[in-house]
Amino acid sequence: MTTDAMPAAEAITHGRTALGIELGSTRIKAVLIGPDHSPLAVGSSDWENQFVDRLWTYSLDAVWAGVRESVAALADDVRRRHGVELAGVGALGVSAMMHGYLAFDADGELLAPFRTWRNTNTGRAAERLSAEFGVNIPHRWSVAHLYQAILDGEEHVGRVAHLTTLAGYVHWRLTGEKVLGIGDASGMVPIDDETRGYSAAMLARFDELAAEAGVELTLAELLPRVAVAGEPAGALTEAGAALLDPAGRLRPGTPLCPPEGDAGTGMVATNSVAPRTGNVSAGTSIFAMVVLERELSRAHPELDLVTTPAGDPVAMVHCNNGASELEAWAGLFTEFARALGTDADPSSVFATLFTAALDGAGDAGGMLAYNYLSGEPITGLEEGRPLFVRSPDSRLDLGTFMRTHLYSSLATLRIGMDVLQKTEGVALDRMFAHGGLFKTEGVAQRFLAAAIDTPVTVGDIAGEGGAWGIAVLAAFAGRAPGQSLAEYLETEVFTGASLRTAEPDPADVTGFDAFMARYVAGLPVQRAAVDHVNPAQRGGDA
């Protein structure tokens, strides 16, 4: 990281700071950075999605409760660490989980519960739009959600006046501006590389498809305007400041950068916005972002075409299911340890289990796991049923059991990366990894290197994740004009960053390949579980 001589307390007092807020799948996090881009304080609030009427959602009340709690916790951290009060910030940015569906009427009222990226009920819409547009339209994209609502004859679609993502919604309420960073916007409707706006041809074709289904609308009028990193995107209003911080520590007039999705902030947080760079982010979901130097030869259902926050083309492999099933097993082991009278905290349990995986059989020893808590479009599953299967002759030891589940968390990603690396021949100079999966040093990093047969780097550059990344984008909006985002990150932010790189181990590569052959062959078992195990049935109701 760069260094700056200004003491932290002085930077906070004089407002030479940037605040980033990111609404992730399980945590809302706020990070305050100083002139050298290093974190000065953090605050967070945990939250969980709900499965309501067979759709994954969060309430908007929970959005604001979590944001306020995070900002309040950050203010407390400022006081604890630096002995001063938080009294305003120099810049602000908002990020959130990408895509999904937030539809509002002309009065700003929500028309349907927020539908998150995790939902896979949009299969018919995604298939039709992909065929019509000539590019892959994933299930979770906003345009797929809207078209599915049209196909399903949902009453509210005729009253939609504004459509946005979670980051766009929060930014709108804070500033009054209906704007979206280009990376997040590219998950609503495909972007035209030349104009760096929504594809006009696809917008027009969508209007025709809607009319054919009996709905008259102009999609272009419903969408937020598109902004690239560095462009102004409004300022905090009095009402917005009150929403963020009822205590009045954040002042109206603070400039905001364009709101971005967690994929874009992950690219920033790992210095992966230049061509031939990429990153893997692993949390509730797991996804890889690879910045392209040329167009792909054709559309692939496993790959989404999005952009960096600066508007450069990116191939994304997005898997709905990441580390949640691992967390469930770790929770079970924690409960067992406490039942034995051991004062085991979750972080030490995770570290112990992950480290044990290093001694497991390289090919997972005949064991098989699917981490599908929700549907997984890459493997054609519209719903999830977590599953663990082993052959009668497999040895059930802790190391192999944990290696099986770690491999499983990376398996769907591997399927998509095979399309990118082997079918399309896309080359990578570097792949960074970040997220909770990589906190135990040298375990998931090593297995990811084996999964994609590519060196994988981790380090302190993404310690605070996407919340830090959007804070950096907020700081970038105030930089000297003419400097690109890639240049800014390389020369102003990441100089001197401490990194650790794992090369693929040939034995691990061979073992992961064997596991993948078994994983793909076993997918019909997962399909049968979806078809025959009803999640609504319990005990005697089965």
What does the domain layout of the chain look like in residue ranges? 324-405+505-535
The answer on pLDDT for 117 being more than 70 is yes
Which residue carries 């203010």 as its tokens? 75
The answer on pLDDT for 300 being more than 90 is yes
What is the spatial distance between Cα 147 and Cα 110, in angstroms, rounded to a whole number?
A: 17
Lowest pLDDT segment from 257-261, 447-451, 536-540 = 536-540
Average pLDDT on 406-434 reads 94
The answer on pLDDT for 98 being more than 90 is no
Average pLDDT on 407-431 reads 94
62: which 2 tokens? 């929970």
Average pLDDT on 93-98 reads 95
- In the chain, the percentage of residues whose pLDDT exceeds 70 is 97
What are the residues whose beta carbons fall under 8 Å from the beta carbon of 348, sequence distance 6 or more? none
What is the spatial distance between Cα 168 and Cα 97, in angstroms, rounded to a whole number?
A: 11
State residue 436's pLDDT score: 83
Give the up-direction half-sphere exposure of residue 448: CA atoms within 13 A in the CB hemisphere. Answer: 29
* Cα four-point dihedral sign 309, 315, 317, 318: positive
State residue 473's pLDDT score: 97
Average pLDDT on 73-80 reads 97
CA-closest candidate to residue 40, choices 23, 22, 19, 24: 19
What are the residues whose beta carbons fall under 8 Å from the beta carbon of 246, sequence distance 6 or more? 68
State residue 480's pLDDT score: 66
Average pLDDT on 327-349 reads 93
377: which 2 tokens? 């479009």
Residue 316 and residue 281 in contact, taking contact as beta carbons nearer than 8 Å: no
CA-closest candidate to residue 226, choices 273, 194, 180: 180
* Cα four-point dihedral sign 501, 503, 507, 512: positive
Average pLDDT on 142-154 reads 97
The answer on pLDDT for 185 being more than 90 is yes
State residue 99's pLDDT score: 87
109: which 2 tokens? 């009222």
- Phi first, then psi: give them for residue 401, nearest 5 degrees: -60, -45
* Cα four-point dihedral sign 37, 38, 41, 43: positive
State residue 510's pLDDT score: 98
Instruction: Give the DSSP H/E element, type plus range, for residue 501.
Output: strand 499-502
State residue 482's pLDDT score: 82
Distances (CA, A) of 412 to 32, 287, 302, 471: 35, 10, 10, 31
Lowest pLDDT segment from 140-154, 207-221, 484-498 = 484-498
What are the residues whose beta carbons fall under 8 Å from the beta carbon of 87, sequence distance 6 or more? 12, 13, 15, 249, 251
Average pLDDT on 444-471 reads 88
What is the spatial distance between Cα 195 and Cα 172, in angstroms, rounded to a whole number?
A: 24
The answer on pLDDT for 538 being more than 60 is no
The answer on pLDDT for 540 being more than 80 is no
Average pLDDT on 12-31 reads 95
Q: What is the CA radius of gyration of the chain?
A: 23
Residues in the chain: 542
Average pLDDT on 231-240 reads 96
State residue 461's pLDDT score: 60
What is the spatial distance between Cα 90 and Cα 475, in angstroms, rounded to a whole number?
A: 8
What is the spatial distance between Cα 339 and Cα 217, in angstroms, rounded to a whole number?
A: 59
Predicted model pTM: 0.83
Average pLDDT value over all residues in the chain:
93
State residue 3's pLDDT score: 40
